[in-house]
Structures are given as C-alpha cells and as structure tokens.
Amino acid sequence: MKDGGVHIGFTFDLKDDYLAAGHSREDLAEFDKRETIDALEASLVRLGYQVERIGKLDQLIAKLAAGVKWDLVFNIAEGLRGPTRESQIPALLEARGIPVTFGDSLCLAVSLHKGHAKRILRDHGLPTPRFAVVEDADADLGAISLAYPLFAKPIAEGTGKGVTAKGKVTNHAELRIVCRRLLECFRQPVLVEEFLPGREFTVGVAGTGKKARVLGVMEVELLPNAEPGAYTFSNKEFYEDRVRYRPAGDVEARTAAELALSGYRILDCRDAGRVDLRSDAAGRPQLMEVNPLAGLDPRHSDLPILCRLHGMDFDSLIREIVLSASDRLEWGKS
C-alpha cells in the first residue's frame, strides 16, 4: 500500500471530555490531551491519508450503527472501565471486519493484565521477576513466599498509575498496608513482584510477527530529585526534572532488546509497541511489562522519545505503524 487514498478512522479517549464529566486526572492518566490528538492527525495527513476523527467508544458505536466504515482505524483509545477496557474498540471493529492498528482484542486484554502476561512469558522461558497476585489482602498475603524487597502495583493499569515509591516494601506489615490501599483505590488485584535493583530499559518495537524489529533501547535513569525506587506516575508526569533518557547499546542493553522482541512476538503485538525491562543485581535484564498500545504524545511519551534518540522522527514512526497495519487491509475487505 502506498501512502494516500486510504480512509483512516481515528479513535481516542480525549482527557478533557472525561475531566468535564468529573473524573480525576490520575483516573485519566492514560488518556490523551488535545495536542496529542492534533499532532497524530496532522502526521497522518502529512503522510497523505484521509483522516476522520471518531473519538471514544460511544462515538464509534454510533457511527457503526449508522453504517459508516473506514479502510483502517488508527486506535489509541485506552477505555475507561474493566480489565478488558483496551480491547473494547478493537473487538467492535473486528466484528465489523474493519482493520485496526496495534494489538487485536485478545492481545490487548492479555497484556493489560500483568499477571496473565507474565505467566505466558514465564511459560515460554523468558525471565520475569517472581510474582504473586493479591485479590484479598487477608486471604492471599499469607501464601506469598517471595524475597523482600518487593514491589506492589495495580495489575491492570498503565502510565505508572498506582506506581509510587510506597510500592517498594521491605516486610510483611508494609506489604499488607500497600496492598490494602491499592485494592481499595483501584478495585482490582495487585501484582506483587520481587524488586529488581538494576538498570531500567524501555525497548521500542515496530512491525508484526516475523517482520517485527527493534527500533532502539532507551535507558531510564532517575535523577536525584526523582521519587526513588521506580519509574513512578509522578516521575513520568514530571520527567523533565526527574528522569534522564539515553540510548543504550551495550551488552546488557542488547540482551534487553532480544528479550523485548521475543516478548512482543509471544504476546502477538502488532505494528508498534514498547517493552519495559529491569535488570537484577547481576545485570541480567528481566521483562516487566509489554505495552502493545504505547503512548504516542510526540513530546512526552516514551516510544516517541526513544525513536527521537535513535534518529527516527514522529512522522516516520506513524508511517511504520500504518504500513504494518496495511498488511491486514485485504482481510478487512473480505
């Protein structure tokens, strides 16, 4: 497929819409600002595509009910409710035979639930920190036999939601307090995993299946005034003063890249995504999270920052995504 002549629908969750409805800013951490939506649409137009803004789930449902179709839908909507929230728009489009960028509904559902994703990666022999899933603090914590320090976070959130310095705990009493707080605040299970003290990497991947390739490795270094211990929600939000990003290409980083590509393929990610890893005390990278629906704010999101550090501009990244998704166009027309 050449650029142009393709009618692209554009689904997204606009932060302002939900703020007006009374949701908190942390509730909407994964949703996008108007500037991000404008930048993505402008990039697609510069690449020669015809773009129609659709918006959120309800707006997509209305257009589908009216019989509207597109050659392809560029989807960055995260969804609002439930453990399958990221899968809702892809599932609707799959039912109508309309191709959609990034992971399909199964990929997004499995990857968002960090416990399910880690079990799959572990069963394929890939290294990931030992972990437990806590659904009830009183019933489940007694069975945990992991080595402290541990780190606790919500099992199905992104953009650092629920990830704070308090998530790192050194004893059972602290773990109980943190788990109870997270269960109450986020109303979902808590992932508890052994804390890895080594370097932190983010790996960008583009393509689908055997065509998937690593775009680059970025090391995330916390500065002295950062919230300690983790790449937290606060550190992400105020990264300019708290985080140093730099390209990495040493042996440890190359190992991280190989693991990231394997994890991306195992979870059937498509078009582009981001994989987060951290090293243990011996410098061995382990998989933390696979994100098949990575943020695309051209200035603030990790994947565009990583691409910029490796010489790829924003339009080139968006073009890679659409061209990868274009391989599914004939399926969508069947």
CATH assignment at residue 273: 3.30.470.20
Q: How many C-beta atoms lie closer than 10 Å to residue 135's C-beta? A: 12
Query: The pTM is what?
Result: 0.93
Residue 227 — pLDDT band, cuts 50, 70, 90?
confident
Q: Would residue 79 count as lying in a domain? A: yes
Number of Cβ atoms within 10 Å of the Cβ of 315: 14
- Do residues 210 and 295 both lie within one domain? yes
pLDDT at 330: 66
- Residue 231 pLDDT more than 90? no
Considering 194, 216, 246, which residue would you say is the last residue of a domain?
A: 194
Could you report the per-residue pLDDT of 176-212, keeping only the tens digit for each?
999 999 999 999 999 999 999 999 999 999 999 999 9
User: What is the CATH classification number for the domain harbouring 184?
Assistant: 3.30.1490.20
Is the predicted pLDDT of residue 26 greater than 70, yes or no? no
Q: Are 212 and 313 within one domain?
A: yes
Q: Report whether 244 contacts 180 (CB < 8 A).
A: no
Structural domain range at position 146: 130-194
* Residue 228 covered by a domain: yes
Is the domain of 77 the same as that of 142? Answer: no
Q: What is the CA radius of gyration of the chain?
A: 20
**For the chain, how many structural domains are there in total?**
3
- The percent of residues above 70 in pLDDT, for the chain, comes to 96
Within 267-313, residue ranges assigned H as helices are 302-309
Pairing of strands 7-11, 50-55: parallel
Task: Write down the mean pLDDT value for the chain.
Answer: 93
Q: Where are the alpha helices (DSSP H) in the chain?
A: 15-20, 34-46, 57-65, 88-95, 105-112, 114-123, 137-140, 172-186, 233-237, 239-242, 251-266, 302-309, 314-325, 329-333
Single out the residue of 249, 237, 239 nearest to residue 309, CA to CA.
249
Tens-place pLDDT, residues 251-294: 999 999 999 999 999 999 999 999 999 999 999 999 999 999 99
